[in-house]
Structure 1
Amino acid sequence: MSAAYQGGPHELGQNFLVASSVIGTITDLVARTSGPIVELAAGDGALTVPLSRSGRPITAVELDPKRARRLQRRVTSNVTIVHADLLRFRLPQHPHVVVANLPFHLTTSSLKRLLPARGWQSAILLMQWEVARRRAGVGGATLLTAQWWPWYEFRLHSRVPARAFRPVPAVDGGLLTMTRRAHPLVTERAAYQRFVRDVFTGPGRGVHDVLRRTGHIDRAALRKWLQKHQVSPHALPKDLDAQHWASLWRQTSRATS
């Protein structure tokens, strides 16, 4: 979608937040952070206006030009309204906090744009419930989460009922927080992420089988690693947590160095 798009809320995929309790929860989470705020998909300002009362600099990004103009008339001088596509908006390089009620159909593409960005320190994101659960590793991690765990902590904060939005979506929302780690668990991002992809997509019935077939680690070292970390040979890649992945990467890196 381009910034020139003139469609209505359904065409824009927007579900506007109307529940004051959820707005209050997000405002409280943002209050625990510091620095400038970038709000994506600002809509009618359900979050922008209460957040502006903090006095912190806010850049609110909104695709719908009419809503952007209306919101500009409602906000105080510490808020800058930008008419832009959230997938094309260039995030600041300086430290900041990201807040968003993401259009549900853009959740994954928004995260893929956000995760490699360098400036933001914390993100408070409202998204589709099942996506929020997967990103937080609840019930098993996804490839995307495992690839970024060494650099970010993902936390599922709460479930947000569909009735908290207008129009009411077919599914509930989920409130996810992402925090950049002060000290990454891994330093070699590209190589690590290729390794995680190889393990997730490699042939085999469990971590032991996949790693043995990919050739990243020899059998003795793998058996020792599994025993040390109390991981079943039959565990699936989704069953490993952030510490497991970082430790396994270090083990395989030593084996190939």
Structure 2
Amino acid sequence: MSNGHPSSGGDRSSHPGGAHELGQNFLVDRSTIENIVRLVGRTSGPVVEFCPGRGAVTLPLSESGRRITAVELDPRHAARLRKRVGDEVRVVRDDVLRFPLPRHAYTLVGNLPFHLTTAVLRRILAAGHWNTAVLIVQWEVARRRAGVGGASMLTASWWPWYEFELHRRVPAGSFRPVPSVDAGLLTIHRRPHPLVEGRTEYQRFVKRVFTGPGRGLARILSRTGYAPRTGIARELRRRGIPPEALPKELNATQWARLWEVISSPPPRDRG
């Protein structure tokens, strides 16, 4: 698999796509490749691989006999890879931000270009059909997506539908040429049963909580109009949510409980 050179600006949220992917860092660390193959081996069905490069992961994956679609923008790498793989691998020359994703169940694999990580993640998280993604991403991005040291707004927005798991740190020396920062091996699993209903409303709520005024959930909820000033702290404690916690400090279950508090109709006055 190949990886775009990390930019000085880190993980950008958007990019027009195109020849930006042609700067590549190739994964050469055998143990990391074996880990990726092992994680993919826990899944079933066809595989879509983003940015296969020279085929460091494609070739061992192809030994499983599963159908693989390898999406590579660089025409040289795409041509060379076609000559190295068998009939079970289809090499497609396309941009990962524009490639038409399958309409059937599949597993996604990729060594994402560091400067495109968020753009690619936003695309695949909003897509249907795939069940598991095994990804190499920039280390700090991997930590934040897995909620290590505090979750990001993107993670909290998608937690009810996906589980994020950080498996290992991948040192910069695992690539050629060597990038300036480390990477991380991250898996994303689609939950069989979402933790909440109403994705659009829930994600709008998460954004307002993350960007709302105040310090601590109780104050943020009251200042954004989601809850009255009185009683909200007590209700949060009853649901196992610290009223003084910051949005980034909540886990997936707590976010689901918080949404339940906000979206549930108030109890009727029996008096």
- TM-score, reference length from structure 2: 0.89
Equivalent position of 1:111 in the other structure = 121
- TM-score, reference length from structure 1: 0.94
TM superposition shift of 1:220: 4.5
Q: How does 1:19-30 map to 2 (within 5 A)?
A: 19-30=29-40
Equivalent position of 2:260 in the other structure = 250
SS in 2 for 1:205: coil
Structure 1 CA distance, aligned partners of 2:235 and 2:111? 41
SS in 2 for 1:137: coil
SS in 2 for 1:140: coil
Deviating 4+ runs (over 4 angstroms): none
Q: Percent identity?
A: 58
SS in 2 for 1:16: strand
Does the CA contact (< 8 Å) of 2:240 and 2:254 recur in 1? no
Q: 1:89–1:235: structure 2 CA closer, same or farther, 3 Å change rule?
A: same
Q: How many pairs align?
A: 252
Check if 1:178 corresponds to 2:191.
no
Structure 2 CA distance, aligned partners of 1:80 and 1:39? 10
Equivalent position of 2:60 in the other structure = 50
TM superposition shift of 1:255: 3.6
Check if 1:124 corresponds to 2:134.
yes
TM superposition shift of 1:2: 5.3
SS in 2 for 1:176: strand
What letter is aligned with 2:78? A
The RMSD of aligned alpha carbons is 1.5
Q: How does 1:68-217 map to 2 (within 5 A)?
A: 68-217=78-227
Does the CA contact (< 8 Å) of 2:237 and 2:243 recur in 1? no
TM superposition shift of 1:243: 0.7
Match of 2:42 among 24, 32, 38: 32
SS in 2 for 1:248: helix
Does the CA contact (< 8 Å) of 1:39 and 1:98 recur in 2? yes
TM superposition shift of 1:93: 1.2
Q: 1:239–1:2: structure 2 CA closer, same or farther, 3 Å change rule?
A: closer
SS in 2 for 1:226: helix
Structure 1 CA distance, aligned partners of 2:107 and 2:165? 16
What letter is aligned with 2:37? T
TM superposition shift of 1:153: 0.2
Structure 2 CA distance, aligned partners of 1:128 and 1:185? 28
Structure 1 unaligned segments of length 5 or more: list them. Answer: none
Match of 1:240 among 238, 247, 250: 250
TM superposition shift of 1:225: 2.8
What letter is aligned with 1:106? L
Structure 2 unaligned segments of length 5 or more: list them. Answer: 1-15
Structure 1 CA distance, aligned partners of 2:251 and 2:23? 33
Structure 1 CA distance, aligned partners of 2:231 and 2:86? 60
TM superposition shift of 1:154: 0.3
TM superposition shift of 1:231: 3.0
Q: 1:161–1:167: structure 2 CA closer, same or farther, 3 Å change rule?
A: same
